[in-house]
Amino acid sequence: MTEVFAPQYVAIAMPPVAGLLAEGWAGLLWGLLAAVLCAGVPAAVIAVGVRLGRLDSIHLVERKSRKGPMLAGFAAVVVGLAVLAVLEAPRVVVASAAVMLAWVVVMGLITLVWKISFHAGVSAGTVVVLAHVLPLLPVLMGGAVLVAVIGWARVSVSHHTAAQVFAGAVAGMVTTWATLAILL
């Protein structure tokens, strides 16, 4: 679960899926652009860091190793968001990129002082995005189960405490809901 639902993979999948569901094939293409710019670049930074031995893993288990990738993520999302806005991408795709920016800012600031679960935060936030483009109740019910399983997996591999997982899920949900409330 922790491998399949790593935050960078979920963040890469979220804009194309949301774009496709909200806007059809054109939305998928815009979402792919958002995924590459806003999530692909930070994922590549992390992959290179792991390959060079500068980062412990793609999961950034050591909190101190998160600062560089978060700064790269922040820069990539800001540039990606600007590109999407200038090119007049569909609102749901721009909102998806803005959600990623909110995740980096909120969870990034928290992780500077306390280790929070990005796995739980990004997964819970993605559920909120999908609940905006799919039937609300089934998405929230299924998403809650999936986020709980992901959280359990993070605790069971000893990468987080239950409190860090819970805080991540809450931070992801709240920041995503607030961002979408402003933009959609």
Give dist(CA 101, CA 18) in Å, integer.
16
Amino acid in the structure at residue 40: G
In this prediction, residue 80 has a pLDDT band, given cuts at 50, 70 and 90, of very high
Q: How does pLDDT run across 148-169, given as a tens digit for each residue?
A: 999 999 999 999 999 999 999 9
Mean pLDDT of the chain: 95
Q: Which residues make Cβ contacts (< 8 Å) with residue 27, sequence separation at least 6?
A: 18, 19, 20, 21, 90, 92, 93
Give dist(CA 55, CA 45) in Å, integer.
10
Q: How does pLDDT run across 21-75, given as a tens digit for each residue?
A: 999 999 999 999 999 999 999 999 999 999 999 999 888 888 788 888 889 999 9
Query: How distant is the alpha carbon of residue 26 from its chain centre?
Result: 22
Give yes or no for a contact between 133 and 19, defined as CB atoms under 8 angstroms apart.
no
Give dist(CA 118, CA 6) in Å, integer.
8
| pLDDT recorded at residue 67 | 87
Mean pLDDT of 127-131: 98
Q: What is the DSSP string of 45-58?
A: HHHHHHHTTSSS-T
Q: Give the percent of the chain with pLDDT over 90.
A: 89
| pLDDT recorded at residue 61 | 81
pTM to 2 decimal places = 0.93
| pLDDT recorded at residue 70 | 87
Give dist(CA 101, CA 107) in Å, integer.
10
| pLDDT recorded at residue 60 | 84
| pLDDT recorded at residue 108 | 92
Mean pLDDT of 92-106: 97
In this prediction, residue 10 has a pLDDT band, given cuts at 50, 70 and 90, of very high
Any alpha helices (H) in 52-157, and if so which ranges?
67-86, 91-113, 118-133, 136-156
